[in-house]
Chains A and B, each alone.
Chain A
Amino acid sequence: SQKIEQNSEALNIQEGKTATLTCNYTNYSPAYLQWYRQDPGRGPVFLLLIRENEKEKRKERLKVTFDTTLKQSLFHITASQPADSATYLCALPNSGGYQKVTFGTGTKLQVIP
């Protein structure tokens, strides 16, 4: 199965700055990669999906890049706000079936006012 690495240390940034989170994977190249947001004690919420043939995807203040050579995805939140504080998970499909995904452990983002 896919091994996913996300920075387990919390990321603290100042309000208004751009937050950048990293997701690295180590096995086969996936057909797509997903990002989710999770608030404490709540279920993850889907944010973005980027396919292997897409370099970049944007949604409002969110931007995701996908580098299949580096086996890495970067997740950016521009003009960050305290309400963006949450844990962000990346997820990749398993090789045996694209409807099963493996989730990373997530990176906790804290936006300081």
Chain B
Amino acid sequence: DADVTQTPRNRITKTGKRIMLECSQTKGHDRMYWYRQDPGLGLQLIYYSFDVKDINKGEISDGYSVSRQAQAKFSLSLESAIPNQTALYFCATSDSSSEQYFGPGTRLTVL
């Protein structure tokens, strides 16, 4: 089984809808991250969490929120989706070594 899983893998939704993307990991890492990737722009950090009680905004947190339900689970929500949030979303984890392990990604399309 994969160390970092994301659900759903693909999602098409409409403007204004609330969407939740979920991430689970079995690596036992404390640190978890949410990124979005757009063509030509690279990975941009949305939110990150260094333990269950720690949540921090990244570079592009506006329009997003997160929840760290447990060490192994980190969810990303779009409260009211808009078309420019159409992107590929990745969850990642790391331990103190700083090497990041990425999930397979969620392709989100907002119409």
Q: Does B74 contact A (CB under 8 A)?
A: no
A89 at interface by CB-CB < 8 Å: yes
A113 CB-CB contact with B under 8 Å: no
- Does any Cβ of A come within 8 Å of B34's Cβ? no
Expressed in whole angstroms, the Cα–Cα distance for A93 and B97 within the complex equals 12
Interface size on A, residues (CB 8 A): 24
Q: Name the residue among B43, B50, B102, B103 with the largest chain A CB count within 10 angstroms.
A: B43
Interface string of B78-110 (1 = CB under 8 A from A): 000000000010101010111111111101000
On chain B, the residues within 8 Å of A105 by CB distance are 40-42
Per-position contact with A for B45-66: 1 when CB-CB < 8 Å, else 0? 1001010000000110000000
With A99-B50, A100-B48, A103-B43 known as contacts, the answer to whether A49 contacts B105 (CB < 8 A) is: no
Q: In the complex, are the beta carbons of A43 and B92 less than 8 A apart?
A: yes
A45 at interface, CB cutoff 8 A: yes
